[in-house]
Structure 1
Amino acid sequence: MTRIRKASALTSVFSALALLAIAASCPVSAAESLEPMHGIAMHGEPKYPAGFSHFDYVNPDAPKGGSLKMAVVANGFDSFNPFDIRGIAAAGISEYLYDTLLAPSDDEPFSAYGLIAESLETPDDRSYVVFNLREQARFHDGEPITAEDVKFSFETLTTKGHPFFRNYYSDVSKVTVEGPRRIRFDFNETSNRELPLILGQMPILPAHYWKDREFGENGLTPPLGSGPYRIGSFEAGRSITYDRVKDYWAQDLGVRKGRFNFDKITYDYYTDDTVALQAFKAGNFDFRLESSAKNWATAYTGEKFQNGTIIKEAIEHHRPTGMQGFAYNTRREVFADPMVREALAYAFDFQWANKNLFYGQYTRTDSYFENSELASSGLPQGRELEILEPFRNKLDKDVFTETYVPPSTEGEYGLRENLRTALELLRKAGYEIRDGQMVHKETGRPLAFEILLFQQSFERVVLPFKNNLARLGIDVSVRLVDSNQYVQRLREFDYDMITQVIPQSDSPGNEQRGYWHSSNADAKGSRNYMGVSDPVVDALVEMVIQAPDREELVYRTRALDRVLLNGHYVIPQWHLTKDRVAYWNFLQRPAETPKNGIDLNNWWAKP
């Protein structure tokens, strides 16, 4: 099971001679001389000291061996390049094949420790960062990982890779190779404290491998990596197996000890989730993360569950759950008016769905940073109000006077009252009902749109919403497409409304540009799914990125959250603060679960 992460890193064991050699080849003034660091925290100091043996939440003595079989519900894959916008990459590629400069910990908001980089150097203002690479760092063919490989990776990803990389690293102004194992990144004039950490997340590609190959056109030719696994057997579009690298160069480092324990990891592809569930219970794969409340409540029964052959657990986590909701494509004229978007939210009956479809398992989401201290609440006051005050004339007054609460159907009149409110808002937005159809008063154009889905199981959520909107004279069609077509349409913003998850970390930063900044509103393949284009949001995003400390980051993020909620870009759905998992009992996991939740890379198989 993988998650969106922020970074990666470990210990500094630089000898005095090595440091002197670097200084001799790359002289700097005494004022610029910095002490190499084994790790770095976004704010404050990292938890783990130099030379730490392993993370607290792993079992350092976990045995190596065995295999893990997983399922992917999708229409296959056609690429082994996860960094290119073209094609559908096989599951697990970036996680298992490629090492990064730094490695993250899962029990801190955002700290990273040396992996490929033995140490890093950055001044107090974080205006640049230097990475010192480990001498033993190797690609799978035995070639050393050098500073030239790092530079090649940066240039390739930001010019030929997914648009995400150009946005993520846009504040880098200069890259300088200062020695075979020393590289420096200089930054634009910015207070972006996150840059050294997010550069540490960059996957390092082998320059010598790609020298005579076209990046993005390798198709299903297994590429060269440096990570804990390499591609073993595969069946195009149907399955892929990763083989553990037995002489993996980093296996004894503190950031890797007790992790990546299975000899083989296999992903089998299924086009139908119901079939995948039955395959799991039949023993065709070993672990399942359940996303369906109905399945969780009704499908995990039988002798194998009763006798402990298959274990079912809901494991609590403390990571931000982000936002899941019906996302409007505001590039479409039908959703250009925020009042229309606000009105339609009154037709979604979460309380009914939670009771009748979800067995009461979910909580309504009311923040883009749900389940964290970053979520806004109540009315803005104190420092948060100070942040918003300069934008008062550009914001709706409700930002300052109304607490955002998603429409609820609790109470005596329930949905009926909500639909009445929706009708009033639509009339204010210039709509009226003619012959039972909601149309614009001036143009006569019907209020109609399509909801795009790729999960058939989600129709049971969408169809009641569609029926409620029909009572307002709104014509909604539901289009179900396969996962590959869905991904392509997402990249092209070819949809009216989708159900989308917008994940968040405990330390928001540069990725917020990808989600909300106007520069990405029309950038194909960006994660600005709703087409948010608002100068106030742009300004708040930059303020979040440049937050000088944790306290200020919290205030600025809450302000951003409040403005986004008031923009009515989504109809919030629900969240869960537990990972619902089922697994065959030969799998073992560490006693401690970190705040970010379970990570299968820390598990192992019984010998």
Structure 2
Amino acid sequence: MEGVDMRWTRRQIGQLGLGLTAASLLPAGFGARASEGIIRAHGVSAFGDLKYPADFAHFDYVNPDAPRGGTFSTGGGPGTFDSLNPFILKGNPATLIGLTFDSLMDGSADEPDSMYGLVASSIEYPEDRTWCAFELRPEARFADGSPITAEDVAFSFNIRREKGHPSFRLQYAAVTGVTVEGPHRVRFDFDRSAALRDMPMAVAGLPVLSAKWWEGRDFAASSLTPILGSGPYRIETADPGRVISFVLRDDYWGWDLPVNRGRWNYQRISFEYYRDRSASFEAFKAGKFLFNEEFWSKQWATGYDFPALKRGDVVRATLPDNRPSGTQGYWFNTRRSKFLDPRVRKAIAICFDFEWSNKTLFFDLYTRTDSFFEGGPMEASGSPTPGETTLLEGLASKLPPDLPEDVFGTAYVPPVTDGSGRNRRELREAARLLDEAGWKIVDGKRRNAQGEVLEIEFLDASSAFERITVPFIRNLERIGIVATNRVIDPAQYRKRMEDFDFDITTDRKVMSLTPGVELRDYFHSSSANSPGSDNTAGVDNPAVDALIETIERSNDRETLTNAVRALDRVLRAMHIWVPQWSKASHHIAYWDIYDRPEVKPAYSLGNFDLWWVDPDKFAYLKDRIGG
């Protein structure tokens, strides 16, 4: 989205799995022990059948005959890294470091919530999901040739729980123990009172680390020493502030697995860092790197007229994105007293004129985001359905007293302006809300009963958002709010976000097609004050907690959808953010040396793991590519 790079998030390593399949939904012959109440299978899914049978050769969307070789290079800015350890709070980890690690299972890109065996050949679990066990492939190896064992899997979990990022302990609180049952068999046990639908897939998605390699090393330390992994790539170059590059491992153990055939086709993958996006774009035009996903509407609308594109050396394309659009917006830090009253937050949000911004700044390329689950079936709209109403009525006593009208009526949507930029009607409404909340105009500024001025600071790590934030600030000033925009370097920004030291900031949270345990890190009270959590707004509400619990325990899509929509209604009524914008597409440009599968999978762009370099195209263009 505009100004926020959707490719790289703080959750890029060890993304959670999304659930598992009930025994009654497994295809015939799928689990030999299902009749005993124990399911043993090659994959798991939250709801419904797995698409791919146990003997599948490869995913449908790959080209199994894709050639290997060549370089995929991309870039961005601003940013840097000072660590190659992505599992801890300390340090700023390098982009794409997950290429060096394998997990027990891997997801498919044409199903919403399925995983299939990678390091593990199979998963076993009872119908009540109170535990799961994995059988590891004896041939699985780390990059130094040492075998991956059940001891390594147990170590990987336990060391992250003991010394890893605090959010890990929050999201995996339901794991009560990890048991090594043999050299290649490991079992995870879960709290029987917890929501367990997601847990087998959650642990299946964790990167596996080498216990032996970590002997004598400090796991909690930020370091530029590459960590031993077992993935298809190893780190080739790590130059903070400039580049991180990865080279394909010829000795990778897992090439012939169904989940890997037709994937990981580049000999080299590199990400180049630049001081800002203007410098990054100039480097792309000069062929310093060869793939660019464009997140800036103005640049997409006006910047793609350079010679290489006119010659046909660069391809420009718009591809569909079927994933939920996510939750990009200006987020309030509700831990601060000036933002405790939702009327204050709503008043500030009303002052953002999206229609003017879209017309004047974005070339009408975006649509306004209304929902925390924008662009998918989980988005609430209109009046609550009977299923939503039942859930919400049961939580009425836990909702703040000023919310029920917004929750039980029509789902809240931001006001629509005429796009003129004058926005007088909305500003009058914002002023009324502030008056009602006790922030009166005194000497031209909003002050409370104690005489304190309503001052807010927009915090960002890039100046690129200034053209959007400054007009927003002007509207706030018109109703007496003192607002400033502060840009700091990425390292300072990361630290302040980890400590929740901000008023308002721009953030984007990725929503899955089957929401579950990740919502605890975004909106649950347990993460509201946990350093480094993704609960940006500091949401701490018992009704929200209860709905997240219901979501985690949902065993069918109807129940899940009702619960997520109910959560959406509550969060929107709380006005914890100023929703920004979205688009259901990828804007990409690349030097014409790449080919891609004929059919793009529904839930992935696939540029890293599914595309490949065409040798003939590269031979034609290699003399025109710089660097």
Q: Using the alignment, how far apart are the partners of 2:588 and 2:280 within structure 1?
A: 14
Structure 1 counterpart of 2:304, from 296, 300, 323: 300
Q: Which residue does 1:470 correspond to in 2? A: 477
CA shift digits 1:509-531 (9 cap, x unpaired): 11100001111111000000000
The DSSP-based 3-state class of the residue aligned with 2:346 is helix
Which amino acid is the alignment partner of residue 316 of structure 1?
P
Task: Say whether residues 1:235 and 2:263 are aligned partners.
Answer: no
Q: Which residue does 1:58 correspond to in 2? A: 62
Which amino acid is the alignment partner of residue 133 of structure 2?
V
Task: Say whether residues 1:285 and 2:289 are aligned partners.
Answer: yes
Give the drift of 1:30. 11
Task: Say whether residues 1:497 and 2:501 are aligned partners.
Answer: no
Q: Which residue does 1:130 correspond to in 2? A: 133
Structure 2 counterpart of 1:328, from 315, 332, 347: 332
Give the drift of 1:470. 0.3
- Contact kept, 8 Å, 1:9 with 1:200, in 2: the verdict is no
Q: Which residue does 1:342 correspond to in 2? A: 346
Q: Using the alignment, how far apart are the partners of 1:211 and 1:33 within structure 2?
A: 40
Q: Using the alignment, how far apart are the partners of 1:272 and 1:237 within structure 2?
A: 12
CA shift digits 1:478-523 (9 cap, x unpaired): 1011112111111111110001111101011111000011111110
Give the drift of 1:150. 0.4
The DSSP-based 3-state class of the residue aligned with 1:233 is strand
Which amino acid is the alignment partner of residue 488 of structure 1?
K
Unpaired stretches in structure 2, ≥5 consecutive residues? 1-6, 21-31, 616-627
Alignment TM-score, normalising by the size of structure 2: 0.91
- Contact kept, 8 Å, 2:76 with 2:276, in 1: the verdict is no
CA shift digits 1:271-326 (9 cap, x unpaired): 11101000000000010111100000011113321232101111111100111111
Kindly tell me the number of residue pairs found equivalent between the two proteins. Answer: 588
Give the drift of 1:426. 0.8
The DSSP-based 3-state class of the residue aligned with 1:326 is strand
Q: Using the alignment, how far apart are the partners of 1:43 and 1:69 within structure 2?
A: 37
Q: Which residue does 1:102 correspond to in 2? A: 105
Unpaired stretches in structure 1, ≥5 consecutive residues? 11-22, 24-28
- Could you tell which deviates more after superposition, 155-164 or 401-410? 401-410
Give the drift of 1:208. 0.5
- Contact kept, 8 Å, 2:527 with 2:535, in 1: the verdict is yes
- Contact kept, 8 Å, 1:8 with 1:115, in 2: the verdict is no
Q: Using the alignment, how far apart are the partners of 1:476 and 1:236 within structure 2?
A: 34
Q: Using the alignment, how far apart are the partners of 1:9 and 1:328 within structure 2?
A: 31
Task: Say whether residues 1:529 and 2:536 are aligned partners.
Answer: yes
Q: Using the alignment, how far apart are the partners of 1:70 and 1:9 within structure 2?
A: 33
Q: CA, structure 1 residues 474+36, in 2 after alignment: closer, same or farther (shift >3 Å)?
A: same
Q: Using the alignment, how far apart are the partners of 1:210 and 1:218 within structure 2?
A: 14
Q: Which residue does 1:140 correspond to in 2? A: 143
Q: Which residue does 1:263 correspond to in 2? A: 267
Which amino acid is the alignment partner of residue 296 of structure 2?
S
Q: CA, structure 1 residues 338+49, in 2 after alignment: closer, same or farther (shift >3 Å)?
A: same
Structure 1 counterpart of 2:443, from 435, 440, 444: 435
- Contact kept, 8 Å, 1:9 with 1:102, in 2: the verdict is no
Q: Using the alignment, how far apart are the partners of 2:432 and 2:8 within structure 1?
A: 44
Structure 2 counterpart of 1:486, from 493, 517, 542: 493
Q: CA, structure 1 residues 132+2, in 2 after alignment: closer, same or farther (shift >3 Å)?
A: farther
- Contact kept, 8 Å, 1:537 with 1:560, in 2: the verdict is yes
Q: Which residue does 1:567 correspond to in 2? A: 574
Q: Using the alignment, how far apart are the partners of 1:393 and 1:413 within structure 2?
A: 40
Task: Say whether residues 1:594 and 2:597 are aligned partners.
Answer: no
Which amino acid is the alignment partner of residue 420 of structure 1?
R
Q: Using the alignment, how far apart are the partners of 2:196 and 2:120 within structure 1?
A: 21
- Could you tell which deviates more after superposition, 588-597 or 233-242? 233-242
Q: Using the alignment, how far apart are the partners of 1:422 and 1:33 within structure 2?
A: 58
Q: Which residue does 1:448 correspond to in 2? A: 455
Give the drift of 1:146. 0.5
Q: Using the alignment, how far apart are the partners of 2:389 and 2:419 within structure 1?
A: 32
- Could you tell which deviates more after superposition, 233-242 or 29-38? 29-38
Task: Say what the alpha-carbon RMSD is for the aligned residues.
Answer: 1.9
Q: Using the alignment, how far apart are the partners of 2:35 and 2:69 within structure 1?
A: 50
Give the drift of 1:6. 4.0
CA shift digits 1:62-110 (9 cap, x unpaired): 10001112213133211110111100111111x2111000100111110
Task: Say whether residues 1:418 and 2:418 are aligned partners.
Answer: no
Question: What is the identity percentage for the equivalent residue pairs of Structure 1 and Structure 2?
Answer: 45
CA shift digits 1:97-133 (9 cap, x unpaired): 1100010011111000000010001111111101000
Q: Using the alignment, how far apart are the partners of 1:458 and 1:36 within structure 2?
A: 50
Q: CA, structure 1 residues 540+9, in 2 after alignment: closer, same or farther (shift >3 Å)?
A: closer
Q: Using the alignment, how far apart are the partners of 2:166 and 2:535 within structure 1?
A: 12
Q: Using the alignment, how far apart are the partners of 1:521 and 1:191 within structure 2?
A: 20
- Contact kept, 8 Å, 1:408 with 1:414, in 2: the verdict is no
Q: CA, structure 1 residues 40+433, in 2 after alignment: closer, same or farther (shift >3 Å)?
A: same
Following superposition, which runs of at least 4 residues in structure 1 exceed 3 angstroms of deviation? 1-10, 29-35, 411-414
The DSSP-based 3-state class of the residue aligned with 2:471 is helix
CA shift digits 1:169-221 (9 cap, x unpaired): 11011211111100111111234211111111101000000012111326111
